[in-house]
Structure 1
Amino acid sequence: MVDALLALVATLGALVATGLLISRANKDRLLYLIAWTFTQVGLSLALLCMTVGFLAGFNGVLFRVAELGAALIGPIWLALGMIELIARYVQVRFAGWLFAISYTVVATVILVLDPLKGELSKKLPKPGSTYDALPLLLIDGAHVVAVLALAACTGVTAWLASKRDQEAAELLIPVALVALAGVLVVSGTRGFLPAPLAVIALGGAAGLVWYGAMRTIPVYEDEEGYEGYEGYEGYEGRDEYGDGYRDEPATGYEEQGYAGARHEPVSAPTPPAQDPRRGELRFPAPVPAAPIDDFRFRDNPAGPTAVDGVGSAAGAAGIGAAGIGGALVPEQARPAGAPQAGLSRLADACGQITVYTLLDGREDAFDRLATDLVKAALAAEPDTVIFACHEVVGAPTQRIFYQLFRDEAAFAAHRQQPHLQRFLAESRTHVLATNVIELRLGPAKVPLPAPEFPGR
């Protein structure tokens, strides 16, 4: 009777935690929360079957459901959620999903169809005495994979935190709690613990998963979303970029193979009213300028080009030059009377503004990726005229990319660049939402004279 009461209390607690996690996963549409929701459902079903078994006696259905939920689905999908949260490479996350889904399907079929042995009673059945060799091998495999994945993710997070990675430091405690939950799940389903301890272990694991999941979600003052940011009134995103820049959170780039993106647009928080520079653009903190190597002089012996948007004098002024890769040079570096090369080609110029809303605390990590992207564009994209990343004064989680290309061909070539694809894949964990605005060049000072347009 004591076992049944413990199981009932643990079941009620697990059901409450599961409901809360399902609600949050449905709201945020984060893939690791969805994976941990499967874990919570599995643990809740297992505890419910234990409660019924302790009261009325176990049978084949109750035993199989308990084993599927706690011994198979629980650890596998717990490890998958951890990989989705920690891994920064799309290949690792994709491999995790592929393995978890395929292993779960195959093992479920075998655990459901394999015949049982021995008699069942009101005592908690032991898998080793009830299942044959193949189901036990699959359960053991799930446990080994889960423990290794959880230990590896915890170790990587601790190592990154020791290197002063802010994101890893913030995730260290939630990751450790979830890893502990994995240990409790494996311990409670191996059959080594007595029934009361097994029930407590599974109930405690459900609570730790819920608490750890809540600690990984950024907390905003307005849980219903941000509204009324005057700096972006009238901007509407377009999804014509074709390479992952979408008017949706970066939790699901369709081209990168992700699903479950949140579809409600989220604007930036309203900045403080006392900030007189609200909505102004500025560049992130400068990084040391790269040594001037020969690729900057190949097409232009007069001097280096500017517009990398990060560390140059031109970039610090906003848009201070009109060329990348040696096609054009800043006015101060161009000798008097030198021809303004490439101006005739700007008549077909096109551009794009991409507004990123970052997750709280991910600004530095995103800025590092943006710096690498702009440097790569400087070295490899001669027809990208301007490529700059801005911060927004009064909105620390906003980043704005301004890009100007000589023509549609240069724009298309930019979309195929490997450094852009790498940026899209690695920055998705830092981005809450994006907004894209397509541009056509009109009368402008860039700072060289703009081409003639009808009506001027």
Structure 2
Amino acid sequence: MSALVGWSATAALAAYAQRRPGVPVIGWLVASLGLTVGLSAAVIGALFDFNGVTFRLLHIGISLLGPLYMAWGALEYGVRSAQGRFASRLFLSAFTIVPLVILSMDRISGRFSTGFPALGDHYDLIPRSIVNVSQVVIAVFLVTAVVAVARRPGADRNHRLAVVGLVALAALLSITVGRLGLGAVGPLLMLGAVAALWGAAALMVRPRRDRYDEDDDYYDDYEDDADRDPEDELLEEPVRRKRRNADPYDDYYDGPPVRQSPPAKLRGVITIYTLGDGQGPGFDRIADAVVAEVASREPDTLLFACHTVPSAPSQRIVYAIYRDDLAKEEHDQQPHVMEFGRRTGSHVVATNVIELSLAGAAASDGLASLLMPR
């Protein structure tokens, strides 16, 4: 049963990652795939007795890859620092390749039982030590993600803590089964791990919003369908705002909806890049491309522009204004934004980020059309 649920969760995560690619989703997709392959090997082992192949696949999935990529996805989801994310990717590479080779090649001793075999009962000292160190790294990733989310201001902090908490629960259950086996209870705990990971991904996809919250501007983008160009809808497809799929008004009230105009809480970010010698033209070409993509694909990014500094030729300043926190989050997950960060890494020697809260400013579609040409 847990293997079937795991394949279902993997298929759902793969479909979502294809529609809205993002680093946390990809990490959890790899984790789900690792858990599912391990559970499938356990099913074969339970039916036809465990052997070296099924035992290795089981523990590579549930003791190493599954928890490691869950924790890394949670860190990418919760941490904003580019330096922190880069360091986590270095650790991820090291603790994927080295333990994977050791667990695949090291000899296995002892006879297998009918239940889930514990990792320590059949692996020698070196594989056990490598897995123990990997699980310490997993714990560090999860604690870092929780602390980063808890320190972040904003109304969505509790929602993000719930997502990270579910991922931590899934990783804990998977590690527990890998270390202890637990016989017939093991499959039930793994079912809980898969369900927790699936729930975290679903909660991240559709954040909870209070229907009657005065700060929730459901009707910011309300307009006559006859005036909407169908091609414009296609351009906004990569990462669309969750609230644009709000429930129909007529399900709750009688009569036509009344347009509401609560003050929007804008978010602003100023990023100062210090470039290496001779890197200005290359950086400018990449920046021009991402500015064009943002202008055509992100209706809720009200301003996104890159400027030179006459008195400092090696510096570039990127100004960005977002409709709210959700718009900034979705901007950061856009494929062209992640590609911009990847391609400019070789051009930039230092980065300074200044975040602004523009509460009280008014945002509307008219302002958006003035700031960003469509």
Q: TM-score, normalised by structure 1?
A: 0.53
In 1, distance between residues paired with 2:320 and 2:125? 44
For each residue in 1:415-436, what CA deviation from the matched residue of structure 2 results, as whole angstroms up to 9, or x when unmatched?
Answer: 933x539999x99634266999
Q: Which residue of 2 aligns with 1:93?
A: 85
Counterpart amino acid of residue 172 in structure 2: V
For each residue in 1:286-315, what CA deviation from the matched residue of structure 2 results, as whole angstroms up to 9, or x when unmatched?
Answer: xxxxxxxxxxxxxxxxxxxxxxxxxxxxxx
Residues 55, 122 of structure 1: 8 Å contact kept: no
CA gap of 1:133–1:229, structure 2 versus 1, over 3 A, is farther
For each residue in 1:133-180, what CA deviation from the matched residue of structure 2 results, as whole angstroms up to 9, or x when unmatched?
Answer: 1111111112111123213322332344xxx52232221212211111
CA gap of 1:402–1:414, structure 2 versus 1, over 3 A, is farther
Q: Which residue of 2 aligns with 1:196?
A: 184
Question: How far apart are residue 101 of structure 1 and its match?
Answer: 2.3
Question: How far apart are residue 82 of structure 1 and its match?
Answer: 0.3
In 2, distance between residues paired with 1:122 and 1:40? 24
> Any unmatched runs of 5+ in structure 1?
1-8, 236-247, 250-262, 279-283, 286-362, 374-395, 437-456
Question: How far apart are residue 231 of structure 1 and its match?
Answer: 8.4
Q: Which residue of 1 aligns with 2:300?
A: 398
In 1, distance between residues paired with 2:334 and 2:228? 16
> Any unmatched runs of 5+ in structure 2?
210-217, 250-255, 273-297, 338-374
Matches within 5 A, 1:402-441: 416-417=315-316, 420=318, 429-431=329-331
> Secondary structure at the residue paired with 1:367?
strand
Residues 309, 315 of structure 2: 8 Å contact kept: no
> Secondary structure at the residue paired with 1:170?
helix
2:199 to 211, 215, 225: 211
Question: Are 1:152 and 2:144 counterparts?
Answer: yes
Matches within 5 A, 1:340-419: 364=265, 367-369=267-269, 398-401=300-303, 416-417=315-316
For each residue in 1:295-354, what CA deviation from the matched residue of structure 2 results, as whole angstroms up to 9, or x when unmatched?
Answer: xxxxxxxxxxxxxxxxxxxxxxxxxxxxxxxxxxxxxxxxxxxxxxxxxxxxxxxxxxxx
> Secondary structure at the residue paired with 1:11?
helix
Matches within 5 A, 1:261-276: 264=238
Count of residue pairs the alignment pairs up:
286
CA gap of 1:230–1:197, structure 2 versus 1, over 3 A, is same
2:118 to 113, 121, 126: 126
Matches within 5 A, 1:249-398: 264=238, 364=265, 367-369=267-269, 398=300
Q: Which residue of 2 aligns with 1:105?
A: 97
> Secondary structure at the residue paired with 1:46?
helix
For each residue in 1:58-92, what CA deviation from the matched residue of structure 2 results, as whole angstroms up to 9, or x when unmatched?
Answer: 00000000010010101110111001100101111
CA gap of 1:47–1:400, structure 2 versus 1, over 3 A, is same
In 2, distance between residues paired with 1:204 and 1:276? 44
Counterpart amino acid of residue 47 in structure 1: L
Q: Which residue of 2 aligns with 1:182?
A: 171
In 2, distance between residues paired with 1:435 and 1:60? 44
Residues 229, 270 of structure 1: 8 Å contact kept: no
For each residue in 1:93-140, what CA deviation from the matched residue of structure 2 results, as whole angstroms up to 9, or x when unmatched?
Answer: 122122212321111111111111123343432222211111111111
In 1, distance between residues paired with 2:225 and 2:314? 32
CA gap of 1:266–1:165, structure 2 versus 1, over 3 A, is closer
For each residue in 1:249-280, what CA deviation from the matched residue of structure 2 results, as whole angstroms up to 9, or x when unmatched?
Answer: 9xxxxxxxxxxxxx8486995999988999xx
* Identity, % of aligned positions: 23
CA gap of 1:36–1:265, structure 2 versus 1, over 3 A, is closer
In 1, distance between residues paired with 2:115 and 2:314? 62
Question: Are 1:66 and 2:70 counterparts?
Answer: no
In 2, distance between residues paired with 1:99 and 1:199? 30
CA RMSD for the aligned pairs? 4.5
Residues 9, 194 of structure 2: 8 Å contact kept: yes
In 1, distance between residues paired with 2:309 and 2:321? 18
Matches within 5 A, 1:440-455: none
Q: Return the structure number with greater helix share.
A: 2
Question: Are 1:48 and 2:40 counterparts?
Answer: yes
Q: Which residue of 2 aligns with 1:24?
A: 16
Question: How far apart are residue 35 of structure 1 and its match?
Answer: 0.4
Q: TM-score, normalised by structure 2?
A: 0.63
In 1, distance between residues paired with 2:269 and 2:35? 39
In 2, distance between residues paired with 1:183 and 1:205? 8
> Secondary structure at the residue paired with 1:401?
strand
In 2, distance between residues paired with 1:95 and 1:265? 27
